Amino acid sequence: MLAAHRASREATRWLARGVASWSKFNPAVMSGSNPATVSNLVYGEWVQSEKTMTIPDPLNGEPFVHVPDTQLFEIEPFVASMKSVLKSGTHNPFKNPERYVMWGDITAKAAAEMRRPEVEDHFARLIMRTSPKSYAQASGEVRVTRKFLENFSGDQVRFLAKGFSVPGDHPGQSSHGHRWPYGPVALITPFNFPLEIPVLQMMGALYMGNKPLVHSDHKVCLVLEEFVRLLHACGMSLNELDICNGRGATVNEIMAQGHPRNTLFTGSKAVAEKLAQQFHGRVFLEDAGFDWKILGPDVSDFDYVAWQCDQDAYACSGQKCSAQSILFMHDNWAEAGLEKALAQRAATRKLEDLTVGPVLSVTTDRMMQHKERLLQIPGARLLFGGKPLTGHSIPERYGAIEPTAVFVPLNELLKPGNYEAATTEIFGPFQVVTQYGDHDVPHVLEACERMEAHLTAAVVSNDVRFTQHILGSTVNGTTYAGIRARTTGAPQNHWFGPAGDPRAAGIGTPEAIQLVWSTHREVIHDIGPVPHGLALTQS
């Protein structure tokens, strides 16, 4: 049996016990023998569109999911729903404050549901089938989502709206700062984390009193639908959010006519910039992620660091916005044999267990062309990989290559033309490796300074002076430092997002939710008493 079919069979082996009460997607559907049908949600109803798109199974190309191909003549209900939301939102500190408590209760129920082993397994298998990754990676995404829900259960939603007060100038006056909703908002999410990203951002929008229009990448949108159905079973009204599936142009037209007061976009830089211009900056962005890792001069815990470098570059087939895109390796690490260790670890990844698999946004040809372009740089060499995967039925529209690393000399990397090529993000199992010495640190920092994407980074060193120097000279929004530093990390316990851009989004924490999904409103109460005998003159 082909490796892809073995992986597909394994990915459909799940537990359905206790899930069927709210689940739409059963084992027969997920086996591929009976394609699933995804729905839109608008004005409290699950509806179909006149046309559908058939999404191929990412492992064998067979028909897998029928997704609404929503047409322009079908957008009026979505536009009307968005326009029906007041700027003051569905709730705020003065209006319907009991809804903060309601969301805490719904979240607690959803968290408890996702703690059940059969439900965790259910969502892990859904993720594996839509955005193929190993079971460990898929179940990790489910656990992060569940921990987020646990974090915001009970009164924690209420605390998100916590403000502050300042004494006034005279008796009866006080100034109060409040976190205020935007009202109608939009949320656009990518394929690579089909549960975690839409759920964390969607729930943050709902907590703060907004009504979101949610658009998940059509390749993975059934995961979002399944979670929303779980929320409905946990007490969420059908009217709290809308889901529009289909092509980006259709969703863009809904937004153009509906005028969301804020949009969160996670995805490509080109689309992010288009949205920023079209909606006059009323956006928060988590776009490109060409992420760097610097291995400092102190070599320790060699096996662990090699393992983490492999995980950061190639887990989820490199399809993480936080994936290690370029590795700056100090001479001491090169002399210790890191290149060989990385090659040995990469060679253990295989399609059978989905530790390497389909690349859903970059074709094999595109990745091979990029490899050849880098090898044209003087002194460049292929460290490992660089070949298409074999023995599979992955559709040609997707990519399938071995975990790949290309070495580019630092002095050549910094040259015009070479730099643009070496820092082009390839959203797949592909990284650039370079080497530096003590005297080259300014050149390493120059390379980091010239990058446009500032999402994640890592400084792998316990040398405090070295680490402080690197941290003080760079800007990445989520930066790990120390010998255990990584570039990929689940945002259940810390802020995750880019930096260096006023539009930079955040995810995972109260501060991120407050930044992205609420705005500041100041209310100055001035109830008197009014002073008597005061001469009121014009000024």
Q: What's the average model confidence in pLDDT over 113-137?
A: 95
Total structural domains within the chain:
2
pLDDT at 11 over 70: no
Q: Report the alpha-carbon distance of residue 284 to residue 286 in Å, rounded.
A: 7
At 65-113, the pLDDT tens digits run 999 999 999 999 999 999 999 999 999 999 999 999 999 999 999 999 9
Q: How far is CA 426 from CA 149, 364, 445, in A?
A: 32, 11, 22
For residue 371, give the nearest of 389, 390, 356, 386 by alpha carbon. 386
Q: How confident is the model at residue 270 (pLDDT cuts 50, 70, 90)?
A: confident
Q: How confident is the model at residue 266 (pLDDT cuts 50, 70, 90)?
A: very high
- Amino acid residing at 279: F
Q: What is the pLDDT of residue 35?
A: 84
Q: What's the average model confidence in pLDDT over 309-330?
A: 97
List the helix and strand counts (H, then E) for the chain: 20, 20
CATH number of the CATH domain containing 43:
3.40.605.10
Share of residues in the chain with pLDDT > 90 (%): 88
DSSP-derived letter for residue 243 is E
- Residue burial 194-224, b: 16+ Cβ < 10 Å; e: rest: bbbbbbbbbbbbbbbbbbbbbbbbbbbbbbb
At 431-457, the pLDDT tens digits run 999 999 999 999 999 999 999 989 999
For residue 398, give the nearest of 31, 35, 59, 5 by alpha carbon. 59
For residue 238, give the nearest of 247, 251, 252, 225 by alpha carbon. 225
Asked if residue 475 is part of any domain, the answer here is yes
Active-site amino acid positions: 286, 321
Asked if residue 71 is part of any domain, the answer here is yes
Residues 149, 271: one domain? yes
Residues 252, 374: one domain? no
Residues 271, 419: one domain? no
Q: How confident is the model at residue 539 (pLDDT cuts 50, 70, 90)?
A: confident
Residues 273, 351: one domain? no
Q: Give a three-class secondary structure readout of 315-344.
A: HHHHCCCCCEEEEEEEHHHHHCCHHHHHHH
Is the Cα torsion angle 316, 35, 214, 514 positive or negative in sign? negative
Residues 87, 193: one domain? yes
Q: What is the pLDDT of residue 538?
A: 83
Q: How confident is the model at residue 388 (pLDDT cuts 50, 70, 90)?
A: very high
Asked if residue 494 is part of any domain, the answer here is no
Q: Report the alpha-carbon distance of residue 241 to residue 46 in Å, rounded.
A: 11
Average pLDDT, the chain: 93
Edge-first strand listing for the sheet containing 63-68 = 36-37, 63-68, 52-56
305 close to 294: Cβ distance less than 8 angstroms: no
Asked if residue 176 is part of any domain, the answer here is yes
At 369-382, the pLDDT tens digits run 999 999 999 999 99
Asked if residue 52 is part of any domain, the answer here is yes
pLDDT at 252 over 60: yes
Q: What is the pLDDT of residue 16?
A: 41
- Within 8 A by CB and 6+ apart from 365, the residues are none
Q: What is the pLDDT of residue 3?
A: 42
Residues 415, 388: one domain? yes
Residues 123, 156: one domain? yes
- Residue burial 439-474, b: 16+ Cβ < 10 Å; e: rest: ebbebbbebbeebebbbbbbbbbeeeebbeebeeeb
Residues 307, 239: one domain? no
pLDDT at 417 over 60: yes
Residues 214, 337: one domain? no
Share of residues in the chain with pLDDT > 70 (%): 95
Is the Cα torsion angle 477, 363, 272, 180 positive or negative in sign? negative
Q: What is the pLDDT of residue 30?
A: 59
CATH number of the CATH domain containing 330:
3.40.309.10
For residue 189, give the nearest of 285, 107, 65, 124 by alpha carbon. 285
Q: What is the pLDDT of residue 470?
A: 98
Residues 394, 446: one domain? yes
Q: How confident is the model at residue 8 (pLDDT cuts 50, 70, 90)?
A: very low
DSSP-derived letter for residue 183 is S
- CB neighbourhood size of 257 (10 A): 14
Q: What is the pLDDT of residue 531?
A: 86
DSSP 252-311: HHHHHHH--SEEEEES-HHHHHHHHHHTTT-EEEE----EEEEE-S---SHHHHHHHHHH
Asked if residue 527 is part of any domain, the answer here is no
Q: How confident is the model at residue 33 (pLDDT cuts 50, 70, 90)?
A: low
For residue 512, give the nearest of 1, 151, 18 by alpha carbon. 151
Distance of CA 185 to the CA centre of its chain: 18
Question: What is the extent of the structural domain holding 261?
Answer: 24-287+510-519
Tokens of 426: 């390839």
Q: Which residue blocks in 415-460 are alpha helix, DSSP H?
A: 418-422, 441-450
Residues 411, 334: one domain? yes
- Within 8 A by CB and 6+ apart from 104, the residues are 152, 153, 154, 155, 156, 157, 158
Asked if residue 467 is part of any domain, the answer here is yes
Q: For 30-34, 262-266, 491-495, which range has the lowest pLDDT when averaged over its residues?
A: 30-34
Q: For 33-37, 347-351, 387-391, which range has the lowest pLDDT when averaged over its residues?
A: 33-37
For residue 475, give the nearest of 510, 496, 436, 501 by alpha carbon. 501
What is the H or E stretch that residue 81 is in? Answer: helix 76-83
pLDDT at 248 over 80: yes
- For residue 90, give the 3-state DSSP assignment: coil
The tally of CA atoms less than 13 A away on the side-chain side of residue 60 is: 17
pLDDT at 226 over 70: yes
pLDDT at 189 over 80: yes
Residues 259, 321: one domain? no
pLDDT at 5 over 70: no
Q: What are phi and psi of 292, to 5 degrees?
A: -110, 155
pLDDT at 220 over 70: yes
Asked if residue 19 is part of any domain, the answer here is no
Q: What are phi and psi of 378, to 5 degrees?
A: -55, 130
pLDDT at 27 over 80: no
